[in-house]
């Protein structure tokens, strides 16, 4: 795991889309979107129905690897409000085991405002402690530094005639936006105007390699200068070839 500092707190990036918070022995993930495949199946778009198991298997592996005692899930835990009750049997049994063996906190998101903790865990709209807020969606003008999800940030860059997409964190002075953890989640360009609006200041995209973090300035304007600028297309972010292939 690679260390990452935010708001005077030390975290470790655990895999491409999770954070480990050593002082709390806690694992942070966002946007699991469990039962997304079954949601689309109801709409007539048939997808392999294994996304929930794949997501929870990966999460269980990280819990074991980090020895986490607490898990914070930062919203959009299920793809829709019915997803919790619809959770496939094997995935539900695994989730019950995980919530029984750790302190499990569900933070509700815009996709699952009615999440109830049916398979265990406690439900909150946000968690505040140690001078930090854990929320689903970034709050512009927040008083507290916050960690959130919602936007599924990614870098999409051309490499040798093809495009490579990597999940990334977006880090500003008071905002740390996590990538989506779910196995069947898409992504939004890290320099998208919606993310710039949420962060409301300078920020960088952060990708964790095996032994270091690689950071890319997103070119976001400050709040004062943004109000004076006309909307212009975002430039294409570029990954160095050696990083894109690592």
pTM of the model: 0.88
- Max CA distance (Å), the chain: 54
Phi, psi for residue 135 in degrees, rounded to 5:
-135, 170
> What stretches of 30-145 adopt beta strand conformation (E)?
70-74, 103-107, 122-124, 127-129, 132-134
Name the burial class of residue 51, with classes exposed (0-12), middle (13-18) and buried (19+) by CB atoms within 10 angstroms of its CB: buried
By C-alpha distance, which of 81, 92, 71 is closest to 29? 71
| pLDDT digit string, tens, across residues 155-165 | 876 667 887 78
Radius of gyration of the chain (CA): 18
For the chain, the straight-line distance linking the first and the last C-alpha, in angstroms and rounded, comes to: 16
Name the burial class of residue 64, with classes exposed (0-12), middle (13-18) and buried (19+) by CB atoms within 10 angstroms of its CB: exposed
Q: Which residues of the chain have pLDDT under 50?
A: 229-233, 235-236, 238-246
pLDDT attached to residue 158: 62
Measured at the alpha carbon of residue 96, what is the angle toward residues 95 and 100, in degrees to the nearest 5? 115
| pLDDT digit string, tens, across residues 103-149 | 999 999 999 999 999 999 999 999 999 999 999 999 999 999 999 99
């Amino acid at each position: 795991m690679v260390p990452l500092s935010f708001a005077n707190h030390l975290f470790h990036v655990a895999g491409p889309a999770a954070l480990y918070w050593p002082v709390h022995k806690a694992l942070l993930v966002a946007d699991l979107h469990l039962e997304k495949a079954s949601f689309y199946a109801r709409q007539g778009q048939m997808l392999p129905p294994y996304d929930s198991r794949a997501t929870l298997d990966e999460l269980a592996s990280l819990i074991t690897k980090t020895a986490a005692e607490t898990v914070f899930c930062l919203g959009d835990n299920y793809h829709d409000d019915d997803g919790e009750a619809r959770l496939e049997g094997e995935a539900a049994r695994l989730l019950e085991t995980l919530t029984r063996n750790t302190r499990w906190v569900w933070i509700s998101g815009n996709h699952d405002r009615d999440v109830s903790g049916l398979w265990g865990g406690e439900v909150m709209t946000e968690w505040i402690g140690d001078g930090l807020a854990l929320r689903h969606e970034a709050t512009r003008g927040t008083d507290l530094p916050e960690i959130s999800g919602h936007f599924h940030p990614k870098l999409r860059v051309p490499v040798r005639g093809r495009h490579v997409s990597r999940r990334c964190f977006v880090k500003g002075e008071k905002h740390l936006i996590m990538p989506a953890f779910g196995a069947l989640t898409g992504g939004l360009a890290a320099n998208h105007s919606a993310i710039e609006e949420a962060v409301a200041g300078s920020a960088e995209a952060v990708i964790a390699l095996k032994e270091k973090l690689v950071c890319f300035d997103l070119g976001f304007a400050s709040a004062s200068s943004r109000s004076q600028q006309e909307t212009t297309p975002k430039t294409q972010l570029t990954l160095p070839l050696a990083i894109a292939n690592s």
